[in-house]
Every structure is written in structure tokens, then in C-alpha cells.
Chains A and B, each alone.
Chain A
């Protein structure tokens, strides 16, 4: 075969190889992005100091008007946190000659919308209407802002709504973590202030008016009008609506300096929590700082919910995360950057180490080109998609202006982001997530978290209300085993025994008083496996007198008959054994306060219940003919739903016996047992009677 022949064969074969392999065509690349100059902002300063910015655009007959002014929550009076939010919520609930319903009808009747919102720095009113309704929109906005009704009934109703919704979220570990983190980073700065149900409930109408007088002033206010309107008309309407608004420039926000935070981990104790919520980060920079662009790219690289480095490190094979991400807040004076994760309590320390490692890698290594490119495009593209309507354009322009950013900011955003380099991302990581000075907050069960977290760094423990706790204090307090049988109310409870969603048995327990004795009778039937009746007699002080248990276990008869008296237990047990019945005579000394191990569930209603309390209970284990000490810990308070209803319960864990048992006991008297779980067993007991 000649060389030429071989070459010809190869040539012929080449296309066949190509079709056989079906080469995958790469997606087309991105086109270059240049800065935008449209729509060009036209500006006018009104005589009263208010700034008018017009973004003229005649694509559709729509006008969006955003009025923003420095009256955000950072100006809330101390102890009245939530004032700016409450005022914003009330501004659209009546103003000028219209009450709340008339305002709603007026804007709805032209197919428009009117809203108000408070951010940390600013309060913003916004109206979107068809352009020939611009005069009405400005009239409604001026009425809302300058002549709000602040009707007493509306104030009371909105205040209650706000306080309730705050109270609803207050106990959740995520909310606690976010709140403690902001206080930890911002420290003495007014940005650290957070509304609480108490601070909102305390706000009076007079205080809202005082805040309004102090902060709602024309100087410093920015009125952005975007859409189908000319400068002449916009100016005429703005003067007509706001020309009469007078007032001196409001007090400026004092400089906010980053204050170094103490080293270590802030651990907020939530007893019994099975998850740990982790937040760490630091304060960043002022709103106009050009480090913003690299930080935005860093945020996407680190904390994107699906593809970010945290999601890949904690999720994936480890599968630790319930949620993770990062975010950053941009404010006029000083922002914050934070990384967050919610993980099972067992892996909290490992997860925190992994998160620190990921951050450290961003501080030391340059991000690979492809990953960087994807993050940049994602940030820039997301921004473009946020600017599709006149309403979005007006809101973004108003916010940018109040942050102090130049008029070219929005048009130049995408090229700025797309030009961020790997070195700039690394510099941003070093700056906003510094190796020293990170504030780390973990919210969860400190009894389980304190030791493992201490191996990472110094840990300070706090209660949910901010009280510092010592490691000793988080250990459950020892409770005195004082049974208060005077609380007894005669009752009978039925618990269904459920395994894999099937009812397999029933337990009925009742407690009655007769003469100087209390008699507890518990009948248990578990299919054909077990049926037994246990009778326990106590004296009125809660001391054991007698135990009789008669039953059948797998067709074998069982019987226990014991008397407790004068520091001894005497009697006999006949139990089912592997080689047939087993008879044991009992005669042993017992400590004072001993409870038969068949009687633990019976005494639960009479304990002095309190969260995070541990009782040591001496029991006589009749089956084993010996004394044991069981410990019962009220570890958590939780809502429990069983066929009988939904109850707030203590979860009390019984340990020291052959099997860990969790009892759910109602927090309200008569402290019923509504659910029982056996560790490593599919069997659950659930109350069925109301």
C-alpha cells in the first residue's frame, strides 16, 4: 500500500469519524458589553431643596414616580425601633382629604399602584400609573408624604400587625442569628438597631408625628420620574405637588466607623434545637466605595444558593446543609457582608471549619478564570433583568442617588462588573472577610455546641435575650424531685401505639384518689404480643406503696407484686424469660423517694416543670431486681400535634435506662403526656382523647 493510498483512505475516513462521534458544539460566546448612556438623567433642583431627576422614555404611556428621602430605620429613636417602618406602612393608609379606602379606590380606579417602604437609610414612596394619570399620582404621593392622616385606629391596627409579625419570627433561630450578627458587627452604630415587638408596641402617634417632622423634609429628598413625560411637565407637576413643602435640611447621619469586634464565637443558646444556624462576616464599606463591584462578584462566587462555593462544599457529598449562602447589605455609611448556613447540630463545628476554609481559599488563591467569568456574567445579567420597566428604573435610580452614587452608575454597572479581575476578588475577600475581626454567631443548643466550637476558638455564650451565660449555666439545672400530688385532677388518658403509620395498640391510663391513696392504673395492649395491667399505689406525698402488674407477654403469664414500706421493697416477680417463666424473690433496701420503674410515666404530671431542668430519679428496676438512677431532662419546648390536638409541650428525655425515651408533656397543667417516643424504635405513643 502506497503512502498516497493511506492518505486517501484517511481522508475518506475522516468525515465518518466525525459523524460517528457527533461532536458537541459549544454554546456561542457572549458579545461585548459597553456602558449605556440611555436614558440620560435630566436634573433640576427645586427652590425648596428637593432634587428632581427625570428619566424620559416614551416607549409606553407609563410614568413611575419614586420619592426617596433620608428617613430610614437608622433614624429610629432609641427604644422605638421600627418607627420608620411603621410610618411607611401608614403613609398610604389615608392622606389629604382621603381616608385609607378612598386612597385605595383612587389608585386602583386608574389601574395604578402606590406603595411605601423603609430601608435602613431611606424611606421611599413609589407610584406607577399610565402617564396621563401622573397628576393624580403626584397628588396622592404629596398627600401621603406631607399630609398623612395617621388615623388613630389605623395606627393601632398597623402597630399590632407589625408587632405580631415580629413576634412570630422572633423565636426562629435564623432570625436570632441575623439579629445577633448585626448587633455584633455594627455594635454601637445606629445600623445595629433592630425593631422588637416591644419597641414597636411602644410607638405612639405623637412619636410618629415627631419622626415625620424631624425627617420628612424637602432638602435631601430625591424625586425620580421615569417614563412618558417631559422635563417641563415633570417640573410643573413636581412644583405643584411639592412646591409648598418647606423645612430645613434634616440632621445628617453621623459618621459610622467600623469598630473591631472581640475575637471568638458568639454562641446563642436555644435548648434542644436540633439545627445550628451559623452566620459570620464583618462590616464592609460606605455605599460609594468602588470595592462594591468585586464584592458583588465575590458574593456570587461564595454564596450562590446552587453553584456557590459554600453550597458545593457543604452540600454535595457531605450533604450537611439545610440552607447556605452569603449576602451583603449596602448602606450609605457602612455595609455588612455575611456567610450563612443552617446545618444539623452534630456537624456544626465541622461545617464552620469548612466555611472558614472556603473563605480562606478566596483570600489566598486567585479564582479560576471560568468560574470568575460565570459569576461576573451572573451578577451583570441579574442587574440587567432588574431594570426592565420604568418602575424598576425609577426605584434603582432613587436608591443609587441616596447612596451618593453618580448618574452614570446604572448605565455603567454591567461593564464595571464584567471587568472585575481575580486579584480584585481576592482583595475584596481580604477586606470584607478579614482573617482577624470576623464576627461569628452560632445559634443552637449550647450544651451540644459549646465543647466542639471551643476547639475552633474562644466561645462566649448568651441567652436568647442577650444575657451572658457561663458554661455551667447552660448545663441543665438540677431539679428537686418534689412530686406535688395536690395538683392531681382525676382523669383518664388514652394513647394510641403507632408503628409505621399503623395503630398497633392502645394504652389507657387513669389516676384516682381513694382515701389516703392515689391509684394509677395503666392498661396496655399491643396486638397479640403483649397485654398487661399495671396498678401503682402512692401515698398522698408521692411515696410508693404497692405495685401489682399482671399480664401476658408472647403467651407467657407475667406477674409482679411488690410492697414498698419502711425503706425496703419486698415481694416477688414472675417474668417471661427466654427459657420459660423466671421467678425472683425481692427483698432489698431502697433509697427514699424511690419510684418503681413501671411508675415513671405516672409521676410526670406532678413534677415541678421548667425548661432546661434535670431530675435524677432513683428507680427500683423490678425486672432486674436492682436500683438504678434515671435522669430526666426538660430539654425543649415545642408544638406537638397528635390525634388529640396540638399542644405546646416540654420534650423530656429519659436516660440511664435500657432505652432512651422522650416524653412530650404539655406545658399547661395538668401536664399530660401526649406523645412518647422510644429511641431507635419505630413505635410512638400518641394521645387520642381531647
Chain B
């Protein structure tokens, strides 16, 4: 009896995939989804707001519009001066983060626990009264052009890979994914203040957003503050659901491009895969670990250690609610021709579907996957992101407590089947990148 009590009080979690994250959830009358996951053992709070406002919602001609808000959301609001969100947070030892990709616009603020009210107040202020003027839009547009220039000048392969992934999608039936979120110089410079106002009105409304609070706070107090700050915000207009066929078309073709910043020839293979919520996703996530994690990762072991490649990378290219993509990428070692490298990369994809993959490798990959998942559930901001992901991609924050177990339950047979189904080089887009000087 006594020993049982001890076990209940301090039960080690060794047998579980990840520790359970407890939470409560409710919806405000204006449509704002709220998830509260207190954890009094930490001394910080995480305030996270995800908007369903990714680049897939912008027309191709306005590519970059969604991304504009990465900067614009810090431009100030009725009660917050320009840049005030970041400086008020920074002055308290806190941190802010913002990411806009195809799926969503994600904003995160971490503060010492005494400042929960400030974190919620700042988010409610910008949701309710973001300062969208010619000046703030102009600054955000300039920043976006800078980012685009930086990518073109300083990030070898990044721009050509983004274009290749976008080219997997049909521009008519799946136009939202058929352009890169960063946009093009022409589309960015054409963005107007009116465009930004309209996008904000349509997508940055409480009914398009999900608020998650994690860390050291009192639930009752948080509910009061949320009601006070977010309750008065009006619901936004209804938005037509995003449409894109679930099954991506196979893409058996080769594209040859140049990249003036590329230090060497490189080869990428891009495989269309199903939406994130698909039953094969856990196996694909494990394949990512098997292919590219650590020195013993397959691409590293087969290509880098054999002096065939200078660097490799592989995995799911951004989680999507619509059809996605899996990529394998290698930079050629001197003397290795593009076509032979392409054949080698394709052979690694086939390897996973054949007899090469062993139980030991699967076990190693699961250990690494689990360690990554566990360390991604320690900080309040990471816990918030995991809950938000579960809600946005699986429709229920509770998925945060089952998602890892689904991956750990994948068998060797599952992996071979999934690799055979989706990582088929015959149905992939092969990208061959040459440094400009080589031409």
C-alpha cells in the first residue's frame, strides 16, 4: 500500500512516449479558441497565438502578403507604440517570435510569470487594432525585400528548393501551395496598404485564431484576463474553406536550374506525400530521422562518409494540412557528376523500401525521435506550439498526447510499405542545381 502511494506521487515516466500535457479548452463567443495548460513548476509563461493566415490563402499575384505580417504585427497598435511589443517584452527579460509559412501565422511571447497580463494584453491589442498605415506597411515590405535578397545572395540552394517544392502543385487546383511564401520581388513591391488591411480584416480575427497559454499561471485568473482583453473583439467575416486535392499528382520529371550562390553541384529529389493528418505521416516522420539524423543517418553514412557528397539533408518539407512534400538533398563532392549523384540519391529512397532498413536502425530512429519530442515539450513556448499544432493539424489539442505514440508504434513493415508508396524516385521531381560559373 505504501509503495503504491509513493508510485502515485512520484511516478517516473520511463514507460511512456512523452509526458502527458494536461489542458483545458473553451471557445469565446467571438470564435477565439482558447487552450490553457498551466504548469506551476516553471517560472515563465508562454502566450501563443496562431492565426489561420498562411501564404496558401493569398493569391499568387500577391505572393508575400501573408509573410508581410511577420514584421507588421510588431508595428504597434492603439495602445502600443511601434516596436513596443518587442521592447516591452525584451525589457522584462522575455522573448518574442513570429513565423508565417504556408499554413499559418504563429506568434509567441515568453515572459516571466508575473507578466501574464502584459502578454495577453499585447496580443489582444494587436489582434484588435494593429497599426496598418502606409509607413508600417512600407517598412514591412522593405524588410521582406531584404529577406528575399538575403535568400538569393546568401543562402545557397534555398530559393531554388522553394521554387521546386512550389512547382509540385497545380497552379489552378492548388494555387495556395504553388508559390513560395516569401514571394517574388515583383509581387512584394506591388503589395499595398489596402491589401494588408483587407488580409488583416479577413484573417486576423478571433474566429481565425487560437490562443494557447502555458507555464506558470492561475487558470481562473487567465480566464478573466482573456475575457477582459479578447472578449470585446468582434468576430471577423466568414472565409471560404481552403481547397486543394488531397492526392498530389506524381511528378516524374527533372528540372535543371542554376544558383549563383551555390558552391557546388547539388541534387534534390522531391516526393509528393499526403496531408499531415494522413495515417502514413508517422512513418514518414520516422523516415526523416532515419535518413538524416546524426552521423549514422542514411544519407550521411551512404554519401558523405563515402566521399560522394559534401552535405546532405532529408525529410518532410514543412507540415501541411493539404498535400505535402518529402525531400532528399545532397551537395556533390568534387568530381561527382550531377546525374550520378541523382542516381545515388534515388537509390537511398529505394533503400528504405527494400531490405536494407533494419530493426536496429528503426529502434535508433525511435529513440532519437522520442528524445526530440521530449525536449520539445519542456519549455512553455514549445508546449504551446505542440498544443497549437495538435489543434490546427489534428483538430484537437489532445492529439499532443497521442501523436508521439503513433510514431513509436510504427513497425519495420510499415516503414517499408510507406517508403515504397511515397518515396518512389520514378514519381519524384529531380532538381539538379549548378553553380552559375559552371555554365
Contact A228/B13 with A32-B114, A60-B377 known, Cβ cut-off 8 Å: yes
A299 to B171, CA, bound (A): 57
Q: Any chain A CB within 8 A of the CB of B273?
A: no
Residue numbers in A under 8 Å from B79 (CB-CB): 24-27
A59 to B41, CA, bound (A): 9
User: Are B117 and A384 touching (Cβ within 8 A)?
Assistant: no
Q: Any chain B CB within 8 A of the CB of A514?
A: no
User: Are A380 and B93 touching (Cβ within 8 A)?
Assistant: yes
Other-chain contact of A129, B118, B122, B369, B371 (Cβ < 8 Å): B371
Q: Any chain A CB within 8 A of the CB of B40?
A: yes
User: Are B368 and A233 touching (Cβ within 8 A)?
Assistant: no
Other-chain contact of A36, B43, B115, B374, B377 (Cβ < 8 Å): B43
Q: How far is the CB of B157 from chain A (nearest CB, A)?
A: 25
User: Are B14 and A132 touching (Cβ within 8 A)?
Assistant: yes
Residue numbers in B under 8 Å from A233 (CB-CB): 12
A146 to B16, CA, bound (A): 33
Other-chain contact of A385, B16, B18, B44, B368 (Cβ < 8 Å): B44
Residue numbers in B under 8 Å from A130 (CB-CB): 367, 370-371, 374
User: Are A384 and B93 touching (Cβ within 8 A)?
Assistant: yes
Q: Which of B105-113, B148-156, B346-354 contacts A (4 or more CB under 8 A)?
A: B105-113
Give a binary string over B10-30; 1 marks a CB under 8 Å from any A CB, 0 the rest: 111110101100000000000
Residue numbers in B under 8 Å from A368 (CB-CB): none
Other-chain contact of B296, A26, A105, A383 (Cβ < 8 Å): A105
Q: How far is the CB of A378 from chain B (nearest CB, A)?
A: 5
User: Are B379 and A389 touching (Cβ within 8 A)?
Assistant: yes
A390 to B122, CA, bound (A): 29
User: Are A58 and B367 touching (Cβ within 8 A)?
Assistant: no
User: Are B379 and A388 touching (Cβ within 8 A)?
Assistant: yes
Residue numbers in B under 8 Å from A387 (CB-CB): 42-43
A109 to B367, CA, bound (A): 7
User: Are A30 and B367 touching (Cβ within 8 A)?
Assistant: no
Contact-residue bracket for chain B: 35 or more
Q: How far is the CB of A661 from chain B (nearest CB, A)?
A: 36
Q: Any chain A CB within 8 A of the CB of B364?
A: yes
Other-chain contact of B93, A26, A57, A382 (Cβ < 8 Å): A382
Residue numbers in A under 8 Å from B375 (CB-CB): 62, 128, 389
Q: Any chain B CB within 8 A of the CB of A110?
A: yes
Contact A61/B18 with A105-B295, A130-B374 known, Cβ cut-off 8 Å: yes
Residue numbers in B under 8 Å from A131 (CB-CB): 12-14
Contact A230/B117 with A25-B79, A377-B91, A387-B42 known, Cβ cut-off 8 Å: no
Output the nearest chain A residue to B6 by Cβ-Cβ distance: A230
A301 to B340, CA, bound (A): 61
Residues in B381-424 with C-beta less than 8 Å from chain A: none
Q: Any chain A CB within 8 A of the CB of B184?
A: no
Q: How far is the CB of B349 from chain A (nearest CB, A)?
A: 23
User: Are A104 and B374 touching (Cβ within 8 A)?
Assistant: no
User: Are A379 and B93 touching (Cβ within 8 A)?
Assistant: yes
Give a binary string over A125-139; 1 marks a CB under 8 Å from any B CB, 0 the rest: 000111111000000
User: Are B92 and A378 touching (Cβ within 8 A)?
Assistant: yes
Q: Any chain A CB within 8 A of the CB of B88?
A: yes
Q: Any chain A CB within 8 A of the CB of B94?
A: yes
Q: Any chain B CB within 8 A of the CB of A112?
A: yes
User: Are A61 and B374 touching (Cβ within 8 A)?
Assistant: yes
Query: How many chain-A residues does the 8 Å CB contact rule pick out?
Result: 55
Q: Any chain B CB within 8 A of the CB of A361?
A: no
Q: Any chain B CB within 8 A of the CB of A229?
A: yes
Q: How far is the CB of B229 from chain A (nearest CB, A)?
A: 9
Chain A contact surface mostly: loop
| Most central of B13, B88, B296 by chain A CB within 10 Å | B13
Q: Any chain A CB within 8 A of the CB of B245?
A: no
Q: Any chain A CB within 8 A of the CB of B200?
A: no
User: Are A60 and B19 touching (Cβ within 8 A)?
Assistant: yes
Q: Any chain B CB within 8 A of the CB of A568?
A: no
Contact A61/B116 with A38-B40, A374-B91 known, Cβ cut-off 8 Å: no
Q: Any chain B CB within 8 A of the CB of A111?
A: yes
Residue numbers in B under 8 Å from A110 (CB-CB): 367-368, 371
A29 to B12, CA, bound (A): 39
User: Are B296 and A381 touching (Cβ within 8 A)?
Assistant: no
Output the nearest chain A residue to B115 by Cβ-Cβ distance: A30
Residue numbers in B under 8 Å from A25 (CB-CB): 78-79
Q: Any chain B CB within 8 A of the CB of A455?
A: no
Residue numbers in A under 8 Å from B275 (CB-CB): none
User: Are A60 and B378 touching (Cβ within 8 A)?
Assistant: yes
Contact A229/B12 with A377-B112, A381-B111, A414-B112 known, Cβ cut-off 8 Å: yes
Q: Any chain A CB within 8 A of the CB of B372?
A: yes
Q: How far is the CB of A106 from chain B (nearest CB, A)?
A: 11
User: Would you mind naming 27 contact pairs between A and B with Cβ atoms under 8 Å apart?
Assistant: A28-B118, A29-B117, A31-B113, A31-B114, A31-B117, A32-B114, A38-B41, A56-B10, A61-B12, A61-B18, A110-B368, A110-B371, A130-B367, A228-B13, A230-B10, A230-B12, A233-B12, A374-B91, A377-B114, A378-B92, A381-B92, A381-B112, A385-B112, A388-B44, A389-B375, A414-B43, A414-B112
B contact set with A: CB distance below 8 Å: 10-14, 16, 18-19, 39-44, 78-80, 88, 90-95, 110-118, 121-122, 294-296, 364, 367-372, 374-375, 377-380
Task: Across the A-B interface, give the 4 residue pairs with the lowest CB-CB distance, nearest first.
Answer: A111-B371, A381-B93, A382-B93, A381-B112
